[in-house]
Amino acid sequence: MLRTILKEVKEFKRASIATPIYMILEVLMEMIIPFLMASIIDQGVNAGNIHHIYKVGSLMIVAALLGLLAGMAGGRYGAKASAGLARNLREAMFNNIQTFSFANIDRFSTAGLVTRLTTDVTNIQNAYQMSLRMSMRAPASIICAMTMAFLINRRLASIYLCAVIILGVILFCLIRHATKYFQMAFPKYDELNASVQENVSGIRVVKAYVREGEETTKFQKASENIYKIFVRAEKNVILNAPLMQTTVYTCILLISWLGAKMIVSNSLTTGELMSLLAYCMNILMSLMMLSMVFVMLSMSVASVRRVAEVLNETSTLENPEHPVMEVPNGAIEFKHVDFAYFKDSETPVLKNINLSIKSGETIGILGATGSAKTSLVNLISRLYDVTNGELIVGGHNVKDYDMEVLRNQVSVVLQNNVLFSGTILENLRWGDKDASEEECIRACKLACADEFIQRFPDGYNTYIEQGGSNVSGGQKQRLCIARALLKKPKILILDDSTSAVDTATDANIRRAFREEIPNTTKIIISQRISSLQDADRIIVLNEGCIDGFASHEELVETNEIYREIYESQTQGGGDFDEKAGE
């Protein structure tokens, strides 16, 4: 887990190595100063030797300046290394997420991934910087100060040793107890982010149903959970300060009392006592810094684990060693295909699917909600792998293709249409980044989108807001269809992607497909018989099984499910010719 994180240090290894070196140099300079101070008092002030005072005082200034420069360099390199690690972690996670299959994505929530990319990485960044600086500085300071104290006077230095041992045991117990609360806290950020994301993305629905109060309560509950956990953790950590203060002042009193007696008996000098007091503060303050490092590390353990989960996640889909780099045609064949989203599922979503679709055919898919229509078409572009059986596209198993090549030739317009912030042309060129404006216009004419685009003041340069919030549902669907057509695919899949357009426009889109792209295999999922009846053949799905596969006329005669849907729609006069897309 830790090795996974540290792999991302990469080009910041030098800064990571330089930071502790500079921190140790800073500590050495700080340890020299009390030793020189004792010499000034004993051999300069008490002896009345002004030359010695100037000489040793100059050395103290040099040591202080060197310590200052070393500390500044350590801070600079530590910030560079930790910020660089955070940058690399975010890039590595984002890049790995791009390789995920849908099965991988299903394991993580959107809010969870956002938390990992932000809050968790920030925790790791802070912990890494503390580790490079304080985790080297504090132990080095304790060891150096303890060594110097024992060199001056073993009897008084033993007070430090006892204090360090007692305080170390107490702090370890406190931090260990607090760690479990910190580990509970950070996953709660997922719930908080999920609440915010859900509210903002669904703000229109929230306001339409006047549910602001309930949403506020939901957010407050998530926020309150984080607050309570952190309060419980901090109740343990907050005992650090009083324990430290008590230990520091106890040591100072003991050293002053015993030291004064030793000065009177001429077994200790005034300068040595001053040095011991300075080392006392160094030792105990370093111990406090070390305790804060442990607190920070304990807080980041959960974050390290969560980030490592994303980095170690490997795609369930892999390219073959020698992939097929061309899709010959749009022929599709399912051979005894079963599919389940999870390996341990008792009942597959799709069961014993056997289909043979010729290249250039128009195939409709009809079925009740939950009949696995979308699951079926997701297998064609290998967004998921089949659990059993074979899926053949263009004469080759889909697992034999390079995934990028396959997906470039299987263009899918999903149920949830997504447009990105940018102009209409920029959105269309997601289908083909090198497409000319003329090609984009032609695709839009095929998708019946050109008519409303021309009515915009800026035409094809009209800016689309994030998520396509400034265009209607029907307009968004037609833009997504045009974007898919620009890929010039061998197979075009429309997953209920004309549900928001009127029946007249839907008919125009299908007629344009027949006339303009006759060699492209077209698969249309719809709940409207009118959208499917002129297809070459129609698949009727029922609970993951094929209940019928024939032309419209044959299904009306032979398939009960299809006939019932047909009669229920035609008896009511069919769909209203509402221009939902306008």
* CATH code for the domain of 349: 3.40.50.300
Structure tokens at 295: 């607190």
For residue 126, being part of any structural domain is answered with yes
Same domain, 405 and 280: no
Same domain, 307 and 337: no
Instruction: Kindly report the CATH number assigned to the domain that includes residue 231.
Output: 1.20.1560.10
Distance between CA atoms of 8 and 18, rounded to whole angstroms? 17
pLDDT surpassing 60 at residue 6 = yes
For residue 579, being part of any structural domain is answered with no
For residue 563, being part of any structural domain is answered with yes
What total number of domains does the chain contain? 2
The last residue of a domain, from among 279, 312, 345: 312
Same domain, 275 and 365: no
The whole-number pLDDT of residue 186 equals: 67
Tens digits of residue pLDDT in 15-45: 999 998 998 898 888 888 887 887 888 787 7
Structure tokens at 481: 């269809």
The band of 80, judged by pLDDT with boundaries at 50, 70 and 90, is very high
The whole-number pLDDT of residue 244 equals: 74
Decide if 349 contacts 375 (C-beta within 8 A).
yes
Same domain, 105 and 223: yes
Percentage of the chain exceeding pLDDT 70: 97
The last residue of a domain, from among 251, 281, 312: 312
Same domain, 234 and 344: no
Same domain, 20 and 142: yes
Short-list 256, 259, 272, CA closest to 148: 272
Task: Determine how many CB atoms are found less than 10 A away from the CB of residue 504.
Answer: 12
Give how far the C-alpha of residue 309 lies from the chain's centroid of Cα atoms, to the nearest Å.
10
Arithmetic mean of pLDDT, 106-127: 85
pTM to 2 decimals? 0.71
Query: Domain of 67?
Result: 2-312
For residue 85, being part of any structural domain is answered with yes
Same domain, 307 and 342: no
For 70-74, which contacts have Cβ atoms below 8 Å and span 24 or more sequence positions? 70/22, 70/23, 70/25, 70/26, 70/29, 71/22, 71/23, 71/26, 73/18, 73/22, 74/18, 74/19, 74/20, 74/22, 74/23, 74/26, 74/133, 74/137
* Stated length of the chain: 582
Least confident of 42-51, 127-136, 299-308: 42-51
Same domain, 28 and 97: yes
Structure tokens at 199: 């509210």
Residue showing tokens 């999870």? 342
For residue 556, being part of any structural domain is answered with yes
Decide if 227 contacts 191 (C-beta within 8 A).
no
Decide if 348 contacts 338 (C-beta within 8 A).
yes
For residue 578, being part of any structural domain is answered with no
For residue 14, being part of any structural domain is answered with yes
The whole-number pLDDT of residue 572 equals: 55
Hey, which bits of 456-575 come out as E strands?
463-464, 491-495, 521-525, 537-542, 545-550
The last residue of a domain, from among 253, 279, 312: 312
Same domain, 99 and 139: yes
Same domain, 197 and 158: yes
Distance between CA atoms of 180 and 159, rounded to whole angstroms? 33
Decide if 542 contacts 367 (C-beta within 8 A).
yes
Arithmetic mean of pLDDT, 269-280: 81
User: Which of 127-131, 249-253, 329-333: highest mean pLDDT?
Assistant: 329-333
For residue 390, being part of any structural domain is answered with yes
Task: Give me the amino acid identity at 407.
Answer: R
Query: Partners of 571 in the beta sheet?
Result: none
pLDDT surpassing 60 at residue 360 = yes
Same domain, 286 and 346: no
Structure tokens at 313: 């996640």
Residue 96 makes CB contacts below 8 A (sequence gap 6+) with: 310, 311, 313
Structure tokens at 364: 């409709």
Same domain, 339 and 304: no
